[in-house]
Structure 1
Amino acid sequence: MEQRSATIHYTLSVSSISQHVFTVSMTIPALGKDTLTLSLPAWIPGSYMVRDFARNIITLDAISNTGEQFTVSPVDKQSWHIACNGEALTVTYQVYAFDLSVRSAYINDEFAFCNGTSVFLAVTDFQHCPCQVDVILPEQRPDWSLATSMPASTGNSLVANDYDELIDHPIFMGVCTQTDFTVDDVTFTLLFSGSTEYDMPRLRRDLAKVCQHHLDLFGKPAPVQRYLFMTLIADKGYGGLEHRSSTALLYPRFELPLAGEAEEPSDSYTNFISLCSHELFHTWHVKSIKPDVMVSPDLSQEVYTDQLWIYEGFTSFYDDVTLARSGVISPEQYLKIVAQNLTRLYKNAGRFKQSIAESSYYAWTKFYKQDASAINNIVSYYNKGGIVALGLDILLRQQSNNRYNLDDLMRLLWQQYGHNKGTPANVIATLCRDHLHVDVSDYLARVVYGTEDVPLASLLADIGVSHVTQSPVSLQDKGGELLTKSAPCYEFGATTKDADSGLVILSVQEDSAACQAGLQIDDKLIAADGYVLNAKLLQRMLSVERQAPLALSVIRDGRLLNLSMPLIAPQPQSCVLQISDPKKLAAWLNH
């Protein structure tokens, strides 16, 4: 048998719903090697953290076609040697699947879900071989069905050209509701796990506008003919992960519009459409255009790049602006979203310590492993990256007399680096200089490779938008709305969650009143001035002028402490964006 044409065959089944176990049978033809090495990825593309998926493998056995047991020897935490004497063999293993996320594998009584990186072992040196997967649905669940973007040969038999394609199509089997719609000859499927009936006509209508925008932006031919929005519904949870012709999403069950409900705007619905917009945009901008080191990444260990601000940041700009451009939300709603993003950024002291290029590079150890100190020490390449993209769009318009904008830059990226050519670190500055005739190197040096804020007040004025910062209205102020009442007299400077009595401290901003008082993460703040606290009472106490510091009673590690919080005026960290020239803003939104 020609080794390059040898097909590696997998059978995937749910062997226990209650114990959350997949069983995988892997038939490997004779490949001419006395010893084969099998391995599972340590991370999944699009989520830059080593997750050690192999830790979920329970048992692993290998036998020949004649039933002879082969010796399986571990090499490291995710690899095994099998002494097969050049013979064909069958490897059978079980995978524990109880991670309700878009990154791994999960089984419950309603559905089973997996990414290939969690369940399909690779044969080292033979990842180029074609793969076939036969999915066996549980006999005890006749109401379960199969859904995936992986091509099918017949029935539940799926095919992939190689291992990279095999692990880039998540697989769903279970109870679900779904609907199709078509935009420019591309068929989109919208799937929700479970039996909750959602407002499918509204979802189809709004998502069709988003899909049309992205297809128009990059032009024909589209990189896919079919695309699957696969949404795992849960009581709680949120997430999205891009794949080459699908996305896996996680969303709270009742944060979506139900069938028969009035079409009222809600932040949760807007967030869902924006999430879909974000992941679909990645079909071009991450799955096809990607950093040079991500073209053929080593999935056994970290792969470093300082370019994630280009990929997640630019996509974070487009996910929301697409909704405004296509009429899913109003310009006012869009500006509120941007203002809230800016408010999160302005409350983040870490933006003055870490650049978004550094944030990209250290995503593996800092951004994806955040602790309570993150707000003071790191910056999000998603959040600030989206603001950098907004500023870059306006700057390109200014410097080119409105000949070019960020859309032109995206099309250049697609034309020159699409289809896995790999972008170098200086790609943005180079394309802008050589093709758009605009020098953005100073801008990038200051806001991408440096820690300066994007000068939005002056930039936004060019598109008819005013930029205002004000003191937070309350402890929960997310930004985006002008003061309708007096701001608190004093700041607090910590985030909290409610406890049975009092408040638990989640994070403390450096140099804030809470910091100077000595509050620490995980403190239980039970009283102020002798009165048992909740968030509302603390807000009231901070809103009344007083002379003496606030006396705090805190439980820390089983000890009762008395602290004194100084009176500090609140910082103007809450952002509000307003339309100052509707015609300019409309012209910007309409390109």
Structure 2
Amino acid sequence: MALHSTGIEYTLSIDSISQHVFLVTMSVPALQQTHAEVTLPAWIPGSYMVRDFARNIVSIEAVNSNNDAIDVTPTDKQTWQVEAAGDAFTLTYRVYAFDLSVRSAFINDEYAFCNGTSVFLKVTGVESLPCSVSITVPESQPDWVVETAMQLQTDGTYLCADYDELIDHPIFMGECTSETFAVQGVEFVLLFSGKTRYDTNRMCADLTKVCDHHLTLFGKPAPVKRYIFMTLIADQGYGGLEHRSSTALLYPRFELPLAGEPAQLNDGYVNFISLCSHELFHTWHVKSIQPDVLVNADLSQEVYTDQLWIYEGITSFYDDVTLARVGVIPPQHYLKIVGQNLTRLMRNTGRFKQSIAESSFYAWTKFYKQDASAINNIVSYYNKGGLVALGLDLLLRKRSEGNANLDKLMQALWQQYGHNKGTPADVIASLCMSEFSIDVSDYLQRVVYGTEDVDLAALLADIGVSVSDSPQQSVDDKGGEVPAKLTARYAFGATVKGAELGLSILTVQEGSAACQAGLHVNDRLIAVDGYVVNTKLLDRMLASEREDAFSLNIVRDGRVLNLTMPLLEAPKQHMALTINNDDAFANWLGLGAK
């Protein structure tokens, strides 16, 4: 590849499919630097955990413009010093890629995928130089296609204005199926890895409505001209990560509708469209509007902010409500989703210990590194944040007599802080006051910076919706709908999964009956009252009348133990929302973007 003195050029190819290794060359022009420093990010924007991507670089070497070998010396875990002596040089390095996620890089026999943060080194001090990339598919896979949102040049290379743009366009090469559709002048690509034939006509039709909603909400001009829903299909797995002109998604293969199947509104399909809605919304609300400290963030180390609830919480509200607004799901189905979110929060005792502002700040070490204690010690800024956003919308409408709402707040955010100006920590309270003359600081102090629950029952009543609570129906009950059968009489307080014999304990809720009995995470619950147990039998026992405590037989670390679980009344943590006034609720949904 010929070296252009004005920029940095990369080539990306696959060194070995079976060994999951990318081969990268990086040609750097003469920079008048005796010692050039090259480094790889430690984390990827949108995923707040240090992942040390450089640990996957398995070899690195360099030559100068005369093709003579020059020294490359590591200076820390992700940085190397190149003895360039002011001359142009070329680095050649290999990257191990076997992390099936949306955050890193992955190669198998079907496709290869990578984020730039995993494969493209940068030269410190010249990040503003343009970057070009040449992508080569393996000779053994001539039918593989390349897809990325980078700008394709006439010579077959891809061009980015600078390093920040380079690492914000994931790259796919491999077997895939894809469909293209247009909305308001923007081209959208729906791509699925592999050869599974999906009902893409249905998905494109529903996504057209979602894309139109988001584009209309924020108004013209759109920040993108072409956008890719880049979906990695696997047997198991779930995830999404936003980028400036695309999103990388990971989804289970058979949770999506196959071509020719009768259309059904099952959870797998709804969750996928909601995931696409969520990540597309981030095109405005994260990739353009973002916390001040994350503008030009240092990717070598943690960057702390207490604003993630604003970005993930509000987006988590819009991802689902959009589906109801545009008719992908009926109104009651939307309320079922809200009820499930509320149920999950009610079963999370960690919400009494941590605010969602604190959850945002400690995302690096707590939210992104959860263990079995998480349910008792932390709260999700996604989960509670979405409910806070719903409450904020209802509160703004109430205090303004219908003149203000969350849509108008988002539009003000976009107009004043779009294009990477950066939001201060008090941006929500400040904008509500400046735009609507409404003081919401009391609400935010209680539910964002404090640990109070959102009083959704009172707020939802204004739009014709009631909230009910009841004991859970089963140990794996998700809530969301008014129970149609006998619910638990006695509390359990642990989450489980079926085992070859009995049940494995996944989490134990603080203060619950299971906790008082002495159950631990990773215990194997073999029997209750002397009978080998499964989820169905446990549900029946918890719903039956009795006078004496439960006798539990467990296996812990190879030891057989007998425990006694007290009879505690089942808590009312199954939440459901019901429409009492169809017109009021339809009016709320129908307001849309004004």
Which TM bucket (shorter chain)?
over 0.9
How far apart are residue 315 of structure 1 and its match?
A: 0.1
Supply the AA of the counterpart residue of 1:291. Answer: P
Report what 2:307 is aligned to. 307
Report what 1:547 is aligned to. 547
Q: What CA distance in whole angstroms lies between the structure 2 residues aligned with 1:355 and 1:570? A: 26
Q: Do 1:5 and 1:129's aligned partners in 2 also have CA atoms closer than 8 Å?
A: no
SS in 1 for 2:153: strand
Report what 1:331 is aligned to. 331
Q: What CA distance in whole angstroms lies between the structure 2 residues aligned with 1:429 and 1:65? A: 57
Report what 1:529 is aligned to. 529
How far apart are residue 30 of structure 1 and its match?
A: 0.5
Q: What CA distance in whole angstroms lies between the structure 1 residues aligned with 2:556 and 2:270? A: 40
Q: What CA distance in whole angstroms lies between the structure 2 residues aligned with 1:120 and 1:177? A: 27
How far apart are residue 538 of structure 1 and its match?
A: 1.3
Q: What CA distance in whole angstroms lies between the structure 1 residues aligned with 2:5 and 2:11? A: 19
Report what 1:264 is aligned to. 264
Q: What CA distance in whole angstroms lies between the structure 1 residues aligned with 2:354 and 2:6? A: 49
Supply the AA of the counterpart residue of 2:343. Answer: T
How far apart are residue 6 of structure 1 and its match?
A: 2.2
Report what 2:76 is aligned to. 76
Q: What CA distance in whole angstroms lies between the structure 2 residues aligned with 1:97 and 1:236? A: 18
How far apart are residue 425 of structure 1 and its match?
A: 0.1
SS in 2 for 1:154: coil
SS in 1 for 2:231: strand
Q: Do 1:502 and 1:526's aligned partners in 2 also have CA atoms closer than 8 Å?
A: yes
Matches within 5 A, 1:78-227: 78-154=78-154, 156-227=156-227
How far apart are residue 67 of structure 1 and its match?
A: 2.0
Q: Do 2:54 and 2:118's aligned partners in 1 also have CA atoms closer than 8 Å?
A: yes
How far apart are residue 536 of structure 1 and its match?
A: 1.2
Matches within 5 A, 1:544-583: 544-583=544-583
Supply the AA of the counterpart residue of 2:255. Answer: E
Supply the AA of the counterpart residue of 1:283. Answer: T
Q: What CA distance in whole angstroms lies between the structure 2 residues aligned with 1:556 and 1:563? A: 12
Q: List per-residue Cα deviations over 1:183-239 (Å, max 9, x = no partner).
A: 000000000000111111101100000000000000000000110000000000000
Q: What CA distance in whole angstroms lies between the structure 2 residues aligned with 1:327 and 1:541? A: 41
Supply the AA of the counterpart residue of 1:49. Answer: M
Q: List per-residue Cα deviations over 1:284-326 (Å, max 9, x = no partner).
A: 0000000000101000000000000000000000000000000
Report what 2:489 is aligned to. 489
TM-score normalised to structure 1 length: 0.99
SS in 1 for 2:69: coil
**Structure 2 unaligned regions, length at least 5:** none
Pair 1:420-2:420 in alignment: yes
Q: List per-residue Cα deviations over 1:71-105 (Å, max 9, x = no partner).
A: 11111100001111111111000000000000000
SS in 2 for 1:435: helix
> Structure 1 residue runs of 4+, over 4 Å off?
none
Q: Do 2:5 and 2:29's aligned partners in 1 also have CA atoms closer than 8 Å?
A: no
Q: What CA distance in whole angstroms lies between the structure 1 residues aligned with 2:35 and 2:164? A: 22
**Structure 1 unaligned regions, length at least 5:** none
Q: What CA distance in whole angstroms lies between the structure 2 residues aligned with 1:546 and 1:270? A: 41
Report what 1:342 is aligned to. 342
The alpha-carbon distance between structure 1 residues 308 and 5, as it changes in their structure 2 partners (threshold 3 A), is farther
After TM superposition, the structure 1 stretch with the greater mean CA deviation from structure 2, 492-501 or 284-293, is: 492-501
SS in 2 for 1:260: coil
Q: What CA distance in whole angstroms lies between the structure 2 residues aligned with 1:155 and 1:370? A: 46
Q: What CA distance in whole angstroms lies between the structure 2 residues aligned with 1:259 and 1:560? A: 50
Q: What CA distance in whole angstroms lies between the structure 2 residues aligned with 1:456 and 1:28? A: 57
Backbone CA RMSD of aligned residues: 1.0
Q: Do 2:471 and 2:489's aligned partners in 1 also have CA atoms closer than 8 Å?
A: no
Report what 2:471 is aligned to. 471
Report what 1:367 is aligned to. 367
Supply the AA of the counterpart residue of 2:79. Answer: S
The alpha-carbon distance between structure 1 residues 206 and 235, as it changes in their structure 2 partners (threshold 3 A), is same
Q: What CA distance in whole angstroms lies between the structure 1 residues aligned with 2:202 and 2:188? A: 15
Q: What CA distance in whole angstroms lies between the structure 2 residues aligned with 1:20 and 1:485? A: 51
SS in 2 for 1:125: coil
Q: Do 2:4 and 2:29's aligned partners in 1 also have CA atoms closer than 8 Å?
A: no
Q: List per-residue Cα deviations over 1:363-395 (Å, max 9, x = no partner).
A: 000000000000000000000000000000010
Report what 1:43 is aligned to. 43
Supply the AA of the counterpart residue of 1:436. Answer: F
Q: What CA distance in whole angstroms lies between the structure 1 residues aligned with 2:82 and 2:201? A: 53
Report what 1:255 is aligned to. 255
Q: What CA distance in whole angstroms lies between the structure 2 residues aligned with 1:200 and 1:506? A: 37
Report what 1:435 is aligned to. 435
Q: Do 1:146 and 1:156's aligned partners in 2 also have CA atoms closer than 8 Å?
A: no
How far apart are residue 154 of structure 1 and its match?
A: 2.6
Q: Do 1:4 and 1:128's aligned partners in 2 also have CA atoms closer than 8 Å?
A: no
Q: Do 1:97 and 1:106's aligned partners in 2 also have CA atoms closer than 8 Å?
A: yes
Q: Do 1:146 and 1:171's aligned partners in 2 also have CA atoms closer than 8 Å?
A: yes
Pair 1:377-2:349 in alignment: no
Q: What CA distance in whole angstroms lies between the structure 1 residues aligned with 2:9 and 2:483? A: 63
SS in 1 for 2:412: helix
Report what 2:63 is aligned to. 63
Q: What CA distance in whole angstroms lies between the structure 2 residues aligned with 1:70 and 1:53? A: 24
How far apart are residue 155 of structure 1 and its match?
A: 5.5
Q: Do 2:297 and 2:303's aligned partners in 1 also have CA atoms closer than 8 Å?
A: yes
Pair 1:405-2:408 in alignment: no
TM-score normalised to structure 2 length: 0.98
Report what 1:394 is aligned to. 394
Report what 1:274 is aligned to. 274
Q: List per-residue Cα deviations over 1:482-509 (Å, max 9, x = no partner).
A: 1222212211100011111011111000
Aligned residues: 589
Supply the AA of the counterpart residue of 1:447. Answer: V
Q: Do 1:313 and 1:384's aligned partners in 2 also have CA atoms closer than 8 Å?
A: yes
How far apart are residue 4 of structure 1 and its match?
A: 12
The alpha-carbon distance between structure 1 residues 155 and 547, as it changes in their structure 2 partners (threshold 3 A), is farther
